[in-house]
Amino acid sequence: MTQPFPFSAIVGQEEMKQAMILTAIDPSIGGVLVFGDRGTGKSTAVRALAALLPPIRAIKGCPVNSEKAAQVPDWASLKTKRAHDMPTPVIDLPLGATEDRVTGALDIEKALTKGEKAFQPGLLARANRGYLYIDEVNLLEDHIVDLLLDVAQSGENVVEREGLSIRHPARFVLVGSGNPEEGELRPQLLDRFGLSVEVASPKDIDTRVDVIKRRDAFENDNAAFMLRWQAEDAAIRDKILTARKALAKLKTTDSILHDVAELCLALGSDGLRGELTLLKAARAFAAWRNDTALTRAHVRAVAPMALRHRLRRDPLDEAGSGTRVARTVEEVLG
Amino acid sequence: MDSWEQATLALQLVAIDPGLGGITIRARSGPVRDRLLALVDPAARKLHPAISDEALFGGLNLAATLENGHIVQEQGLLSHPGALILTMAERASTALAARLAIALDAGQHSLIALDEGAEPDEALDAKLAERLAFHVDLSELSINNLSAQDTVNRATSDLRTITHNPDILHQITAIATQLGIDSLRAPLFTLRAARALAALLGRDRVTSDDLETACALTLAHRATRVPEPEPQEPEAPPPEQDDAQNNQDTADLPDELLLDAVRAMLPDNLLERLAAQKARQGRGNGTGAARKGNRRGRPLPSRAGRLSDGARIDIIATLRAAAPWQTIRKQATGRDTLQIRPSDIHVKRFEEKSDRLLIFTVDASGSSALSRLAEAKGAVELLLAQAYARRDHVALVAFRGTEAELLLPPTRSLVQTKRRLAALPGGGATPLAAGMVTAYEQATQAQRRGLTPTVAILTDGRANIALDGTANRKQAAIDAQQIARLLRAGNIATLVIDTGNRPEPALRELAQTLAATYLPMPRADAKRLSQSVATALGD
């Protein structure tokens, strides 16, 4: 089972799928956080995301997937610098990965056998210009979280260890999933995710049967199933590309900006990242829907996923933050 | 079907279709388990909970590399598809569970998890248990009661050619829902198990018997509620089967029959198990006592050592140690390269903070309830907010009447803690010793899991119920002192908060035995109390 389950074949979970599509349209939105119970298709959706992403142009063999030959770091020591199309990298960051696996470290093999001081790039290098996926993100060790925060903020990975002094670009979109019952996520890391969605198992029998049917077909009739759904995936991919183009032409009026600011103010979200993300997500959503101008309806549609995780958290508040956002949206936008 | 038959059948099914994930076998090591493991494919590889990444995924064999002067790679256990056996599965860390879960998701491996947990809350990580189709409990079995011969059959028909009636998908889903199983992995496992069963028995189509067995095997242990027996519908006789060829088919099997099959397998202690499942939660990191490790945390100076159990090499220190010997070694071997001996190797050491667990032990007895229970609750709530900021875990123990109750197993979910605390009623006698025993159990369990426990006892100190539940003021005090010595011997940090109207001398004495900080709070408001506690805890 080398091919992941196709994205378009995922039943229901519309909000999660929408959030992933939005971040594929505009990666600067900054990733998706998926929180939900076990067995709700979180991991499946993230692994399927890779197939949706259009290929990127990069120098062949470059450890940081540089676009142009001039950007290839000198420590990579590439002989030829030819560009090729490669799938957008989606890199798994396993729990309990050590610091040097994440940032990169001295290449021990080379050091010991050849006596060379060489840099062995880590996961952050491979994730450059792509996605970094962390399953069970709320269980990630704190020192790795600190490291990720720092890199995500600066877009650059700095390695100063074992006599190495290396910096390389590390711009990636964070995608995380987790089960909130198992632990909470630090607000600083929460803020790094552009959008957040909460998923639950579908409650209605027909939907559940659909899920089982498709999974069964995926496992037992793989060829026909993939043929059918890969076509759908390709259609979504084309639509994402169209939307990316449309994004530039999209008009944003001052009154919408005003709405967005007012909404964030009413919710008391920290900083300006909330406004920016909400605006970007709304624009991506409008482009996805083929609309030429940004309207309140777009803002309203994406407000919960863009703001839910940015509210100043009251640890003892029992109501979900999603409902708080929805309520405020009703009040502000009418 | 008894649990032995279940276990052997489950083993056969997993051998046919590794996509079923595997089996959790809950049993202590013993002849019964040995006999079952003798049936497992001898090629299965064994993992232990402390297995390192190199052993799992492979990596550089440093000793051989140094010896031979060229790179020697080692293969990991996960490099080849096949069956894995995880021993002492209840001790597996969340990180290991996550890795194995990813490996299982790839569909190449199957896992037999040997869960040797003695307590209900010691069990395999939920994330991993979810990905294993079967769960069998052999702990009640005795080797004497087993039949002499076990039969292990191989699949007699090809799994891929087996067909099933599309209607059974509806049935499986409906039953899973009735049993309160949210995860969609469960019904998928049921379907797979039914197909594997058909393959095992040499059929080319899933029959009602297969489905019934599959439901019982895969759904019973996941049930979160006992389904209500539905009222009989008199006007709905099973529809006549027109198709004679289909009379062995599954469509005519009423849901109720399948549900009965599962119900028969439901464990008697379902509710206890549910509570235990809640306790079985993952954990990350926070602040607590420092412990030395060799993998993460703040770096300490490196020292000479062997590269085993996941230690990381300190290259610079290693080279520095090797440098003075180069001339001699080159003369000795005649090779003109850098020569490093295993004895030069220096490994890194790190200091890591472990998580802290705050165990609130709250006196909800009548004497407390009158005056101070509300205040104590308020103080605990304030401490919870602080615990949230420090990412501490909290547990809540309340004692009143004749016994203590663990209201909340260690968790980070503060909303839950608050809810349980608010619902805590007051009244009854003061079984202080019982409360301390429960707190002690939680604390030692937490220590075993690598947490650093702190017990905060909030009481007015008028213990009047002894450990055996009798109302005996004198015995109660003696019992409390005894448990206090136990807590102190276990090196568990404690804090005694006197919530009585006047400071209680007996409680001060208890605090001395505990070597605990004693905080008399005659007229404290919640805020002041929480400040004192925070100071006492060393924030």
Q: Give yes or no: residues B133 and B218 share one domain.
A: no
- Residue B244 counted as domain residue: no
Q: Give yes or no: residues B197 and B107 share one domain.
A: no
Average pLDDT taken over every residue of chain A:
81
Q: Give yes or no: residues B24 and B135 share one domain.
A: yes
- Residue B241 counted as domain residue: no
Q: Give yes or no: residues B88 and B215 share one domain.
A: no
- What is the domain count for chain B? 4
Nearest to A205 among B174, B182, B391 (CB): B174
Q: Please state, for a pLDDT cut of 90, what percent of chain B lies above it.
A: 1
Check residue B276 and give its pLDDT. Answer: 46
- Residue B495 counted as domain residue: yes
Cα A35 from Cα A149, distance rounded (Å): 19
Q: Which residues of A touch B379 (CB under 8 A)?
A: none
pLDDT surpassing 80 at residue B329: yes
Positive or negative: CA dihedral B71, B76, B78, B81: positive
Rounded to an integer, the average pLDDT of B120-141 is 82
Between A315 and A72, name the one with better pLDDT: A72
Burial environment of residue A111 by CB neighbours within 10 A (0 to 12, 13 to 18, 19 or more): buried
Q: Are B426 and B366 in contact (CB under 8 A)?
A: yes
Indicate which residue of A273, A283, A296, A312 is catalytic: A273
pLDDT surpassing 80 at residue B531: no
Domain boundary among B97, B112, B145: B145
In this complex, do B177 and A205 lie within 8 Å of one another by their Cβ atoms? yes
- Residue B32 counted as domain residue: yes
The tens digit of pLDDT for each residue in A99-132 reads 777 888 777 777 766 767 788 888 888 888 888 8
**Residue-range definition of the domain harbouring residue B434:** 356-537
Q: Which residues of A touch B127 (CB under 8 A)?
A: 38, 136, 179
Q: Please state, for a pLDDT cut of 70, what percent of chain A lies above it.
A: 92
Q: How far is A308 from chain B (nearest CA, A)?
A: 17
Which token pair is A282? 């709304």
- Residue B247 counted as domain residue: no
The tens digit of pLDDT for each residue in A29-55 reads 888 888 887 777 787 888 788 778 888
Domain boundary among B353, B388, B406: B353
Is A166 strand, coil or helix? strand
pLDDT surpassing 70 at residue B523: no
User: For the whole model, what pTM was predicted?
Assistant: 0.67
Residues 262-321 of A with CB under 8 A from B: 315-318
Residues 103-162 of A with CB under 8 A from B: 106, 108-109, 111-113, 115, 135-136, 138-143, 162
In this complex, do B183 and A37 lie within 8 Å of one another by their Cβ atoms? yes
Is A185 strand, coil or helix? coil
Query: How many other CB atoms are found less than 10 A from the CB of residue A255?
Result: 11
pLDDT surpassing 60 at residue B410: yes
Cα A148 from Cα A141, distance rounded (Å): 11
Domains of chain A: 7-199 (3.40.50.300), 254-333 (1.10.8.80)
Check residue B278 and give its pLDDT. Answer: 40
Is B498 strand, coil or helix? strand
Q: Are B68 and B88 in contact (CB under 8 A)?
A: no
Cα B220 from Cα B228, distance rounded (Å): 15
Residue listed under structure tokens 């093999």:
A109
Q: How much is the ipTM here? A: 0.72
Q: Are A169 and A26 in contact (CB under 8 A)?
A: no
**Residue B495 parent element (H or E):** strand B493-498
CATH at residue B88: 3.40.50.300
Rounded to an integer, the average pLDDT of B345-366 is 78
pLDDT surpassing 70 at residue B265: no
Give the pairing type, strands B58-60 and B290-293: unpaired
Cα A219 from Cα B192, distance rounded (Å): 10
Check residue B526 and give its pLDDT. Answer: 63
Check residue A286 and give its pLDDT. Answer: 92
Closest CA to A324 of A334, A310, A32: A310
Query: How many other CB atoms are found less than 10 A from the CB of residue B430?
Result: 26
Determine the residue of chain B that is closest to A94 in CA distance.
B99
Check residue A62 and give its pLDDT. Answer: 82
pLDDT surpassing 70 at residue B354: no
Determine the residue of chain B that is closest to A143 in CA distance.
B297
pLDDT surpassing 50 at residue B134: yes
Q: A182 falls in which pLDDT band (50, 70, 90)?
A: low
Q: Give yes or no: residues B300 and B200 share one domain.
A: no
Dihedral of CA atoms B525, B526, B531, B534 in degrees, nearest 10, equals 140
Q: Give yes or no: residues B94 and B51 share one domain.
A: yes
Q: Give yes or no: residues B396 and B421 share one domain.
A: yes
Q: Give yes or no: residues B516 and B418 share one domain.
A: yes
Q: Give yes or no: residues B435 and B317 share one domain.
A: no
Q: Which residues of A touch B296 (CB under 8 A)?
A: 98-99, 141, 143
Q: Give yes or no: residues B420 and B484 share one domain.
A: yes
Q: A181 falls in which pLDDT band (50, 70, 90)?
A: low
Nearest to A1 among B107, B187, B338 (CB): B107
In angstroms, how far is CA B451 from the centroid of its own chain? 14
Residue A191 makes CB contacts below 8 A (sequence gap 6+) with A270, A271, A273, A309, A310
Q: Are B538 and B358 in contact (CB under 8 A)?
A: no
Check residue B120 and give its pLDDT. Answer: 67
Query: How many other CB atoms are found less than 10 A from the CB of residue A114?
Result: 13
Rounded to an integer, the average pLDDT of B420-432 is 80
Q: Which residues of B touch A208 (CB under 8 A)?
A: 173, 176-177, 184, 187
In this complex, do B174 and A108 lie within 8 Å of one another by their Cβ atoms? no
Q: Give yes or no: residues B256 and B164 share one domain.
A: yes
Cα A16 from Cα A31, distance rounded (Å): 12
Between A69 and B70, name the one with better pLDDT: A69
CATH at residue B175: 1.10.8.80
- Out of A98-102, B21-25, B296-300, least confident range: B296-300
Which token pair is A204? 């209605």
Determine the residue of chain A that is closest to B278 in CA distance.
A181
- Residue B62 counted as domain residue: yes
Residue type, A259: D
- Residue B60 counted as domain residue: yes
Domain boundary among B114, B145, B176: B145
Q: What are phi and psi of B93, to 5 degrees?
A: -75, 165
Determine the residue of chain A that is closest to B20 in CA distance.
A219
Q: B522 falls in which pLDDT band (50, 70, 90)?
A: low
pLDDT surpassing 90 at residue A285: yes
Closest CA to B441 of B147, B120, B136: B120
Q: Quick check: is A167 catalytic? A: no
Q: Which residues of B touch A205 (CB under 8 A)?
A: 170, 173-174, 177
Query: How many other CB atoms are found less than 10 A from the CB of residue A96?
Result: 19
In this complex, do B102 and A94 lie within 8 Å of one another by their Cβ atoms? yes
Q: Which residues of A touch B315 (CB under 8 A)?
A: 106, 108, 111, 162
In this complex, do A183 and B313 lie within 8 Å of one another by their Cβ atoms? no
Rounded to an integer, the average pLDDT of B68-88 is 80
Dihedral of CA atoms B200, B204, B205, B211 in degrees, nearest 10, equals 0
Q: Give yes or no: residues B415 and B519 share one domain.
A: yes
CA distances to B73, B125, B343, B345 from B55, in Å? 11, 21, 22, 20
pLDDT surpassing 60 at residue B248: no
The tens digit of pLDDT for each residue in B162-176 reads 888 878 888 888 888
Cα B95 from Cα A96, distance rounded (Å): 6
- Residue B237 counted as domain residue: no
